[in-house]
Amino acid sequence: MLELLLTVVLAAPGAALDDSEPVQVMPNVVVISADTLRADHLGMYGHPYDTSPHLDAWAKNALVFDDMICEVPLTSPSFCSMFSSRYPRTTGAIRNGLRLPDEIPTAAQVFQAAGYHTVAVQSNWTLKSELSGLDRGFDIYDDGFHKKRWGFIKSERGANEVRRIALELLEEWDRAKPLFGWFHFSDPHAPYKLHRKFDVAKPSKRDGKPGGKMRRKYDSEIAFMDSRIKAVMD
């Protein structure tokens, strides 16, 4: 499983308007992550279909790390490592459903202790608070979704709902505090659904057949998510 991880710094230290000492403005930090997103299905890495126009445009002016390695190819253990700076073998979270131990501090707790307003919107069942323990340090950790991906197991929420809740939380945010936010999108995860308005790999008379029904659905999931990520970033 590959994850796309975007870290957006929205502000920088400011300067005073007079001869007094510069005023330090704590930067707002937002982490946007995407589940099971293949790098080779993004335009910035040469994919022939227009799956990620907004992410591609953002990347042109961003600092992009091409050489990144996931510690473990599972959602919850991977984020447990990212948010604790520890290997899975030291966190004990080596598979989905195993919690990050309470005694291990998280990045969210560090931000919270520094005076940040901390919010998260989750969309994957493995990241629910009772299963992952990653809610520690978040003032709001929204994981109240129940729709089942496979009809009866493994709940998730789609990009429309992630976008809606994220925008609501951003509207309610008291700007007196800097923000640390984490918004996780799960749409490119199987089973894939075809979003007809984002069917970027649809065959045409000019270019013939696309790369297969499954890949066509997958590409539409990415394009749909890309538009929703743009709304949150805007």
In this predicted structure, what is the pLDDT of residue 17? Answer: 44
What does the buried/exposed string (b/e) look like for 81-99 if buried means 16 or more CB atoms within 10 Å of the residue's CB? bbbbebebeebebeebebb
Q: Which residues contact 180 (CB under 8 A, 6 or more apart)?
A: 28, 29, 30, 107, 108, 111, 112, 116, 117, 118, 119
The DSSP H or E segment spanning 225 is helix 213-233
| pTM score | 0.88
In this predicted structure, what is the pLDDT of residue 69? Answer: 85
**Mean pLDDT in residue range 25-32:** 94
Distance, in Å, from the CA atom of 158 to the CA atom of 192, rounded to the nearest integer, reads 12
**Mean pLDDT in residue range 51-58:** 97
In this predicted structure, what is the pLDDT of residue 16? Answer: 40
pLDDT 10s digits, 135-189: 999 999 999 998 877 666 788 999 999 999 999 999 999 999 999 999 999 999 9
Whether the per-residue pLDDT at 115 is higher than 50: the answer is yes
In this predicted structure, what is the pLDDT of residue 165? Answer: 98
**Mean pLDDT in residue range 192-218:** 83
Specify the range with the lowest mean pLDDT, choosing from 2-16, 91-105, 130-144, 151-165: 2-16
**Mean pLDDT in residue range 63-78:** 91
Tell me the pLDDT band of 228, cut-offs 50, 70 and 90: very high
- Percent of the chain beyond pLDDT 70? 85
Distance, in Å, from the CA atom of 180 to the CA atom of 127, rounded to the nearest integer, reads 18
Distance, in Å, from the CA atom of 165 to the CA atom of 213, rounded to the nearest integer, reads 31
Cβ atoms of residues 186 and 124 within 8 Å = yes
In this predicted structure, what is the pLDDT of residue 27? Answer: 95
Tell me the pLDDT band of 15, cut-offs 50, 70 and 90: very low
Cα-to-chain-centroid distance, residue 199: 22
Cβ atoms of residues 127 and 134 within 8 Å = yes
